[in-house]
Structure 1
Amino acid sequence: MVPKIIEYNKAISRCKQSGHWQRAVALLDELRRETLQATVVTYGATLSVMERASRWQDAMSLLRAVLQLPLQPSLILFNAAVSACAKGKRWQAAMRLLDRLDGARHPGRPRVTGGR
């Protein structure tokens, strides 16, 4: 079963070069329907495709879903989502992600936020 996941990961990654973000999402959905276990690599590849296509809302939605799974999210997932937000000129969303990532790395440390 592992080789099949690798093939899906490769196919999703190829979508980044071609700009076919819808195809990447369809492949992710297909792999789930086949009851295969998507990996952090699978989600990272899909987020990278969304980032390249400037689909920041879709990237944020996928990241939120991934964070609910029993996976250890990687920095790559957050980087792709932050980059997608930056491309979409959504700097506030990007900053929230960075703050969340920093909070996860340093639990208990007070956070400094700008406010009025």
Structure 2
Amino acid sequence: MSVEPVFAAAMLSNPEPKEPIPKLADEIMSIPDYASPSHWLLIVINEIFGFNPAEEAAKWFAGDWNGMAKAEAAFNNLVEFEHALAKNIDDATAEMFRGLGRRGRRCSTGLLRAAVEGA
């Protein structure tokens, strides 16, 4: 009786990042900006010149949070892949040693011990 393997490569999909700060929280936190004259000046500069100097400066200091969110999603996909791959290896090993009975269990335990001690 063979075990159907999990298609582990399907776990390695293109990472889809989550928003680091939800839009609603960002809007609520930016309410005081509307009372600031500098905020309105930056809006005018953005409309005239097509860029916001404060946002450009913030990118230099704050970092790329969207890139971090994408890296998190990629690592989560990698963890899912490794779990599926480990399950496939465990199932294949159990299937391989099943017919050997007690000697097979001892052999598989010995192989596992040798792999751990050798690492």
Is TM > 0.5 for Structure 1 vs Structure 2? no
Classify the TM-score, shorter chain. Answer: under 0.3
User: Higher RCO, 1 or 2 (CA under 8 Å, sep at least 6)?
Assistant: 2
TM-score by length of 1: 0.27
TM-score by length of 2: 0.26
Where is the helix percentage greater, Structure 1 or Structure 2? 2
